[in-house]
């Protein structure tokens, strides 16, 4: 999913807009939706705070009638006061969200300065790899 231009570009924009740095950044996030033509597109959530973001309504795993297949948010602050990896709240908000239920739902990407994590529905955390490699690769 991250290897599609649409998703990678949208998440990269969210990352840039969250003003990554030692502190002073704010979280950005969004849903990845499945297009009718089996492509993906991203819709963004309203801007979050330094270490929190509010997820808009998504009853039964749908937004505007389109199925959610993943979600993501950024952890832009790389100072020592801030957690880089997914927080307990992040794990709970994926695991315990009754509206993130679709069979197609993959989990929530957490984008930090150095690593992209994926929080699975069972609250397991995967390290997908380096943020630079996953988001900032350039294609010929």
* CB nearer Zn ion, residue 28 or residue 90: 90
Residue nearest to Zn ion (CB): 90
**Sign of the torsion angle spanned by Cα atoms 10, 12, 17, 23:** positive
Q: How far is the CB of 38 from Zn ion (least distance, A)?
A: 29
Residues 80-119: x where in contact with Zn ion by CB under 5 A, - otherwise, as a string: ----------x-----------------------------
Q: What does the alpha-carbon distance between residue 132 and residue 22 come to, in Å, rounded to a whole number? A: 17
* CB nearer Zn ion, residue 66 or residue 83: 83
Residue 34, classed as helix, strand or coil, is strand
Query: Count residues contacting Zn ion (CB under 5 A)?
Result: 1
Q: Are 31 and 58 in contact (CB under 8 A)?
A: yes
Which residues contact Zn ion (rule: CB under 5 A)? Answer: 90
């Amino acid at each position: 999913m991250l290897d599609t231009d649409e998703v990678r570009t949208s998440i990269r924009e969210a990352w840039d807009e969250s003003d990554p740095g030692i502190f002073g950044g704010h979280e950005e996030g969004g849903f990845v939706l499945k297009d009718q033509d089996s492509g993906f597109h991203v819709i963004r959530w309203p801007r979050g705070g330094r270490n929190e973001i509010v997820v808009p309504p998504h009853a039964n795993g749908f937004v505007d009638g389109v199925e959610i297949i993943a979600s993501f948010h950024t952890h832009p602050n790389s100072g020592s006061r801030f957690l880089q990896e997914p927080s307990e709240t992040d794990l709970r908000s994926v695991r315990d969200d009754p509206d993130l239920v679709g069979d197609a739902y993959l989990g929530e990407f957490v984008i930090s300065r150095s690593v992209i994590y994926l929080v699975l529905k069972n609250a397991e955390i995967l390290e997908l790899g380096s943020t630079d490699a996953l988001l900032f690769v350039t294609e010929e």
